[in-house]
Amino acid sequence: MLNDETLAKYYMTVGMECHVQLATNTKLFSGSDNDERNKSPNSVVSPIDYGLPGMLPVLNRKAIDLAIMAGKALNSPIAHVSRFDRKHYFYPDLPKGYQTTQMYYPIIGAGVINIPIENDKSVNVRIHHAHIEEDAGKLTHFGNYSLVDLNRSGTPLIEIVSQPDIHSSAQAKAFAMELYNLMTYAGVTRGDLYHGNMRFDVNISAALKGAKELGTRSEVKNLNSFKSVQRAAEFEFRRQIELLERGEKVVQETRGWDETKQKTISQRSKEDAQDYRYMPDADIPPVILSEDEIAKIQSTVPHLPPYYRESWKNIGLDSTVINALISSQLNAKLLQRILVKSGESVARRVGIWLLMAINDQDDGEDTTKAKGISITDDQFIELSQMVDKNELSSTAAKEVLFEMMNRSEDPRTIANEKNLIQVSDEAQILAIVDEVLADKSSEKAVTDLRAGNDKVIGFLVGQVMKKSGGKANPSLVQKLIRKRVQ
C-alpha cells in the first residue's frame, strides 16, 4: 500500500476524451430513429446503418447545428470548412468496416473552458478539438456465439478531446461534470448517462513532481459516470505509482474499468494498436459554414453555467452550493428568475432550500436526471416572505418546504394546516411571558438574569416557547422578557 509520503512525490496528469450522443431525431447519416432506448434489437436500423451495398450517407444537418452549439458551450471556434474521414477496422458491430469521423478537419477547434473546483477555485482546461462521428452498434456475447445489435449504429456523437490540463482525480470528475452541464444546458445531448449518452475516456500518467516529461500514460475507456471517472483516475494513478516505486515500467495501454471490483483491467497494449488507415470520405461533401450561419445558430444557445455563476456572485452562496444548483438547468433557471424578481436575499434563501430539496431527492452521488421540483417561483417567493415577516421560523419553513415538494399546495395553506404560523402579536406573547415570569419555577432564573447572568434567558425563552406550543416568535419573546425583567 502507498503511504501519503510516497503519493505526495508524484504528480498526476490527465487528459480526457468525451463522447457525447447528440440529441437529433434521426441518425447521423440516415433517417432511422436516433433514440434507441427501450427499443428491441435491430429495430431502428436502415439500409444505410446496415451497410448494405450501394448505400450512401446523407449527412443530418441537425447534427451539424448541435455541434455548432456545442462549440459555443466549449468556448471553441467552429471551422468554416470541416470534412469527414473514414477510420477503418473490422468488428461485427461496425457494418461498413469503417467509422465515419472527422480526423483531419474537425468542426470544433481549440478552446479553453473554466472548471470550478472546491473552495471557490477553478482550473482552465484547454480543449484540443471536438469532432463529429458516428457510433457503432453493440455486441452481446453468449457462450459460443455473439449477437449484433445495430440500433446504435450511426448515432451521431461529438468527441471532445481535452489537453492534459487536469491534475487530480477530483478535477477529472469536475471536468466531466462541467462538460455534462455544458452539453445538457446547450441542448446538445439528452444527457442520459445510464444509457451511455456521455462516455468518458481518461488518459492518466504519473510523474515525479518537478519532472520535465510526463510519465507513460494509460487510457481507461468507456466510463459512464462522474464517480467512475474519479475512481478510475485515482486507481490508475496509484497503480502506476506502485509500478514506478517497484522500479517497473508503466505500459502504454488501454484499460477498462470494472465497476464491481472498482479497478482497472488491461484490455490491449499499444503493440496491438490497429492501423486505422484514415482516409477522406468522398461520399460526403465538405461542411461549409459562414460566420453568419454560425452566429445565428449559436444565438439560440441558452444561458450556460458560467453565466449563472457570474450572475450569482453576490448572492452569498458558496461555490459548492452554486455548483450543486447548477447541476440542474431547471433549478438554475428557477433561481435566476427568483433573483431577478425578488433580489439577492430571497435568492440566497431559495438557493439553500433548492439544495435541500435536491439532497432530499438524491439517491446517490451521481444523479444526473433533471431534477424536477414541482414548486413554482411564486410559492418559493411566498415562503421566503413568510420567513421575512416572521410568520415562519426557519425550522418551520423547512418543514413547509418538504411538504410542498410532495404536493402542489401553497406554503401558507401548508403552514396553517400544520399550525406552524408564528405568533408575533406582542400582547398575546406578553401575556404568556408574564405568566411564565410569575411562575415559581422561574423565580431563580429571573433573579439570576437581574443579577446579570445573561445565559439564563435561554431557559425563560424556552419556557415561553413551550407554553406557546412553539408558535411564538422567539426573538420577540426574548425582547419582551428583557423588557419585563429590567
Partner 1 sequence: MTISEILNQIKSTSARLVVENSIKLAKENESYHALLNLTSERALKRADEVDSGKITGRLAGVPFVVKDNFLAFGAPTTAASKMLENFNAPLQATAVEKLEAEGAICIGKANLDAFAHGGSTENSAFGPTKNAIDTDRVAGGSSGGSAVITALNVVPFALGSDTGGSIRQPASYNGVVGVKSTYGAVSRYGVVAMASSTDVIGSFATNVADAELVTDIISGRDERDMTTLPDFFKVQPNAKPGQKIGLVSDFMTDGVDSEVREKINQYVEKLRSKGHDVSEVNLPMAEYALAIYYIIVPAELSSNLARYDGIRYGHRAEGIKTLAELYGKTRDQGFVTENKRRIMIGSYVLSSGYFDAYYLQAQKARTLLINEFDKLFEKYDVLIGPTAPTPAFKLGENTADPIKMYINDIMTVPTSLAGLPAISVPAGTNKAGLSIGVQLMGPRQSEAMLLSLARSMEDK
* Contact footprint for partner 1 (CB under 8 A): 47, 50-59, 86, 88, 90, 92, 95-98, 148, 275-279, 281-285
Least Å from the CB of residue 381 to partner 1:
52
Determine the Cα–Cα distance for residues 196 and 189; give it in Å rounded to an integer: 11
CA distances from 253 to 172, 189, 232, 237 (A): 19, 30, 14, 14
* Minimum separation from the CB atom of position 138 to partner 1 (A): 14
CB of 106 vs partner 1, minimal distance in Å: 18
Query: Taking the complex as a whole, how short is the minimal distance between the CB of residue 313 and partner 1, in angstroms?
Result: 48
Residues 6+ apart with CB under 8 A from 369: none
CB closer to partner 1 out of 95 and 116? 95
Distance of closest approach, residue 278 Cβ to partner 1, in angstroms: 7
Comparison of 53 and 452: residue with beta carbon closer to partner 1: 53
> Which of 11/50 has CB closer to partner 1?
50
DSSP 288-355: E--HHHHHHHHTT----HHHHHHHTTTT---HHHHHHHHT-HHHHHHHHHHHHHH-HHHHHHHHHHHH
C-beta closer to partner 1: residue 56 or 451 = 56
In the complex, least distance from residue 406 CB atom to partner 1, rounded to whole angstroms: 52
CB of 164 to partner 1, least distance (A): 23
User: What is the C-alpha separation between 219 and 257, in angstroms, rounded?
Assistant: 10
According to DSSP, the β-strands at 218-223 and 253-258 are parallel
Nearer to partner 1, 152 or 349 (CB): 152
Q: How far is CA 271 from CA 248, 250, 268, 473, in A?
A: 18, 14, 8, 74
DSSP reduced 3-state for 466? helix
**What minimum distance in Å lies between the beta carbon of 51 and partner 1?**
4
Nearer to partner 1 by C-beta: 269 or 408? 269
> Which cell numbers in the block locate residue 323?
455548483
The answer to whether residues 87 and 103 touch, using CB atoms and an 8 Å cutoff, is yes
Residue 184, CA atoms < 13 Å, CB-side half-sphere: 23
213 Cβ contact partners less than 8 Å away, ≥ 6 residues apart: 207
Among residues 38, 141, 143, 155, the alpha carbon closest in space to that of 95 is found at 155
Nearer to partner 1, 94 or 125 (CB): 94
Angle, CA of 249, 251 and 257, to the nearest 5°: 125
User: CB-wise, 268 or 313, nearer to partner 1?
Assistant: 268
59 close to 287: Cβ distance less than 8 angstroms: yes
CA 52/CA 319 separation, integer angstroms = 53
| Degrees, nearest 5: CA angle 76-187-61 | 75
Closest distance of CB 91 from partner 1, Å: 8
All three cell numbers of 461: 425563552
The CB-of-275 to partner 1 minimum distance in angstroms stands at 5
Nearest to residue 376, comparing CAs of 337, 349, 339, 344?
Answer: 337
| Shortest spacing between CB 296 and partner 1, in angstroms | 23
Beta carbon nearer to partner 1, 33 or 283: 283
User: Could you give the CA distance from residue 361 to residue 363 in angstroms, rounded to a whole number?
Assistant: 6
CB 424 within 8 A of CB 476: yes
Give whichever of 88 and 227 is closer to partner 1, judged by the CB atom. Answer: 88
Smaller CB separation from partner 1, 277 or 369: 277
